RNA sequence: GGCCCGUUGGUCUAGGGGUUUAGGACGCCGCCCUCUCAAGGCGGAGAUCAGGGGUUCAAAUCCCCUACGGGCUACCA
């Protein structure tokens, strides 16, 4: 039975790199007909908190990465919160202590830090000296009397090596002598990551540990622990990490790095799903746009690349636009409503749907929508400087044309895009100018911008009174400008 | 510092000894469409396959070295 897990710690928002790790675990489980397990590693008491937990669960669901076992899903191998498993870790630690595979360490963090610093200064490697390994009983009693809580360290075998046969990277070996006796239980009685993960993965019968490459160097420690505990180790697969455009580990870019940032930016989960699947994995057939089931059907670990990949926002945007185009106006309306609300607009449902129809092909992400369609909501139109330079450059003539346009439109009884177009083109002919001479200034007058959806559709949806008032507004603005120009 | 991992156009990648004048996608540029923009269609520029040594009749593909990038080296995960 294939069993994989995603094990986030609730110490922050769900990072996009974590989402990719979760995704690959999910894809592998679904492809292999296995189980996808969610385990919460909440042993960092200082940084963990409930709000982050909720946020992580909610975001995983939003991505459609439903877990088969874990918080809210039950399962036979719980509890799925590490803080509820302390007894288990303590028993395992005791076992190692009894078998002389671990020992108490009474060094304080301060002492250890000082030692490390000294080692650094003397350019020695900063490993633990092992001085508590042979502590005398009376010394121990003394420390106990002082009320010093010991941590527990694992006794790393002095010689030998650990070989990992990574599913993505192949054989990787580490020499034991490079490893220090690392702590497995903190003095607080809470296990450290390497220890807890090994025990949980064993007890939860995890068959494949698929995680970020940053854990590769931790794996020898864990393998030693499996050995000491007598548990068979799982298979390992270390995923390449995701870099930002500076080729650094994805960190505080301007758009953010947490899933919530992308979500608030208006990216669709299916686009992120597709994009992330292609980050470090390839179906091998020049396929780009892939439905969820298609990705699942083709996913294999050996097609995962070894080299880190740079997160390309532009490609994500493009992919998002592709998925947006597949949506119906009704769907876009549903999805974009919160974004309008956030911008302070309260469009009526019907109207929003019509607006979606007009804009769905030209917005890349939902947060663009209220911004580009602002002219439908704001009474006062701000003219984009570039647009004004381009189409308002002859204020006198342009004002006149807009007045003419206003007249023609005001006379329209049957008001729809066909009649509007006919009227506008008719006026152009009458004036002996290209229709564009009316259309462009009108666009700036109505939207404030040099670009918009088809102008006749815009006019139709904006409705007659608003169109007229905007034409007047622009005409007045231009007349004012013309006067100022004449006075110069 | 030590130990690990990686290196194909700006980016994601295909390709795993001869089929490659290195394929696709994003981005970029141009043309078409057109009331603008986007979308769409068509076309183009862009890679001495990190560098250097080998192995081989033949290397992007196998081996070694170097450089560069990244990760780990916590009583974080």
Tell me the per-residue pLDDT of A352-387, one tens digit each, with 9 for 90 and over: 999 999 999 999 999 999 999 999 998 888 999 989
Contacts with A469 (C-beta within 8 Å, 6 or more apart), sequence order:
none
pLDDT higher than 60, residue A345: yes
The end-to-end CA distance of chain A, in Å, is 85
d(CA A327, CA A450): 27
Tens of pLDDT, residue by residue over A215-228, are: 999 999 999 999 99
Residue positions counted in chain A: 488
The pLDDT score that the predictor gives to residue A396 is 87
Residue percentage of chain A with pLDDT more than 90: 77
Rounded, the Å distance between the CA of A286 and C1' of B21 is 21
Tens of pLDDT, residue by residue over A445-459, are: 999 999 999 999 999
d(CA A414, CA A32): 61
Nucleotide nearest to A108 in CA–C1' terms: B75
Percentage helix, strand, coil for chain A under 3-state DSSP, each rounded to 5: 50, 10, 35
SS3 A164: strand
Rounded, the Å distance between the CA of A73 and C1' of B46 is 51
Mean pLDDT of A136-164: 89
Return the half-sphere exposure (C-beta side, CA atoms, 13 A cut-off) of residue A286. Answer: 0
Mean pLDDT of A46-55: 94
Task: Report residues 272-311 of A contacting strand B, contact meaning Cβ closer than 7 Å.
Answer: 278-280, 282, 284, 286, 288, 303, 305-310
Contacts with A216 (C-beta within 8 Å, 6 or more apart), sequence order:
A164, A166, A169, A172, A238
Nucleotides of B under 7 A from a protein CB: 1-8, 10-15, 23-27, 35-40, 69-77
Residue nearest to nucleotide B10 (CA to C1'): A245
Rounded, the Å distance between the CA of A208 and C1' of B52 is 39
Rounded, the Å distance between the CA of A214 and C1' of B50 is 23
Q: Give the range among A17-21, A115-119, A337-341, A454-458 with minimum mean pLDDT.
A: A115-119
Mean pLDDT of A287-296: 94
Rounded, the Å distance between the CA of A113 and C1' of B2 is 18
A105 sits within 7 Å of strand B by its CB: yes
Tens of pLDDT, residue by residue over A294-344, are: 999 999 999 999 999 999 999 999 999 999 999 999 999 999 999 999 999
DSSP state at residue A360: T
The pLDDT score that the predictor gives to residue A138 is 85
Nucleotide nearest to A458 in CA–C1' terms: B35
The pLDDT score that the predictor gives to residue A139 is 85
pLDDT higher than 70, residue A252: no
Task: Report residues 395-414 of A contacting strand B, contact meaning Cβ closer than 7 Å.
Answer: none
Mean residue pLDDT across chain A: 92
d(CA A270, CA A292): 8
Contact of A102 with A182, CB cutoff 8 Å: no
The pLDDT score that the predictor gives to residue A321 is 96
The pLDDT score that the predictor gives to residue A251 is 67
Quote ipTM for the complex. 0.95
Query: Looking at the annotation, which residues of A are catalytic?
Result: 252
Mean pLDDT of A191-206: 97
A178 sits within 7 Å of strand B by its CB: yes
The pLDDT score that the predictor gives to residue A421 is 94
SS3 A81: strand
SS3 A85: coil
pLDDT higher than 90, residue A286: no
pLDDT higher than 70, residue A254: no
A102 bridge partner residues: A154
The pLDDT score that the predictor gives to residue A465 is 93
pLDDT band at A255 (very low <50, low <70, confident <90, very high): low
């Amino acid at each position: 039975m294939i069993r994989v897990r995603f094990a986030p710690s609730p110490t922050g928002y769900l990072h996009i790199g974590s989402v990719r790790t979760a995704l690959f675990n999910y894809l592998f489980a679904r492809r292999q007909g296995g189980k996808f397990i969610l385990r919460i590693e909440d042993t960092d008491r200082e940084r963990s908190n409930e709000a982050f937990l909720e946020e992580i669960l909610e975001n995983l669901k939003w991505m459609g990465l439903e877990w088969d076992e874990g918080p809210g899903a039950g399962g036979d191998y719980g509890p799925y919160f590490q803080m509820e498993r302390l007894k288990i870790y303590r028993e395992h630690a005791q076992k190692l202590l009894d078998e002389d595979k671990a020992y108490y360490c009474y060094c304080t963090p301060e002492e250890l830090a000082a030692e490390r610093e000294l080692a650094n200064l003397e350019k020695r490697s900063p490993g633990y000296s092992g001085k508590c390994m042979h502590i005398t009983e009376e010394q121990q009693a003394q420390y106990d009397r002082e009320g010093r809580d010991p941590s527990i360290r694992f006794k790393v075998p002095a010689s030998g090596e650990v070989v990992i046969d990574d599913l993505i990277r192949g054989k990787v070996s580490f020499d034991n002598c490079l490893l220090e006796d690392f702590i497995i239980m903190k003095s607080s009685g809470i296990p450290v990551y390497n220890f807890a993960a090994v025990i949980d993965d064993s007890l939860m019968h995890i068959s494949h540990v698929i995680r970020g490459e940053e854990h590769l160097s931790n794996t020898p420690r864990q393998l030693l622990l499996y050995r000491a505990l007598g548990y068979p180790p799982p298979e390992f697969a270390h995923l390449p990490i995701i870099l930002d455009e500076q080729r650094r580990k994805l960190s505080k870019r301007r758009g953010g790095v947490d899933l919530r940032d992308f979500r608030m930016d208006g990216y669709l989960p299916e686009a992120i799903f597709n994009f992330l699947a292609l980050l470090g994995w390839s179906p091998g057939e020049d396929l780009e746009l892939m439905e969820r089931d298609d990705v699942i059907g083709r996913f294999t670990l050996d097609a995962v690349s070894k080299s880190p990949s740079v997160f390309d926002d532009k490609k994500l945007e493009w992919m998002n636009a592709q998925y947006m185009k597949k949506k119906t106006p009704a769907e876009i309306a549903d999805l974009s409503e919160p974004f309008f609300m956030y911008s302070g607009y309260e469009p009526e449902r019907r109207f929003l749907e019509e607006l979606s129809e007009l804009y769905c092909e030209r917005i890349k992400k939902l947060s663009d929508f209220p911004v580009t369609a602002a002219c439908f909501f704001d009474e006062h139109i701000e003219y984009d400087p570039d647009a004004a330079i381009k189409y308002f450059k002859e204020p006198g003539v342009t004002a006149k044309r807009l007045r003419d346009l206003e007249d023609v439109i005001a006379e329209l009884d049957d008001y729809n895009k066909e009649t509007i177009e006919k009227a506008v083109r008719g006026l152009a002919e009458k004036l002996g100018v290209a229709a564009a001479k009316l259309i462009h200034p009108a666009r700036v007058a109505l939207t404030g911008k040099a670009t918009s959806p088809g102008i006749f559709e815009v006019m139709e949806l904006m409705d007659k009174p608003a169109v007229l008032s905007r034409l007047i507004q622009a005409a007045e603005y231009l007349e004012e400008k013309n006067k100022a120009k004449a006075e110069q």
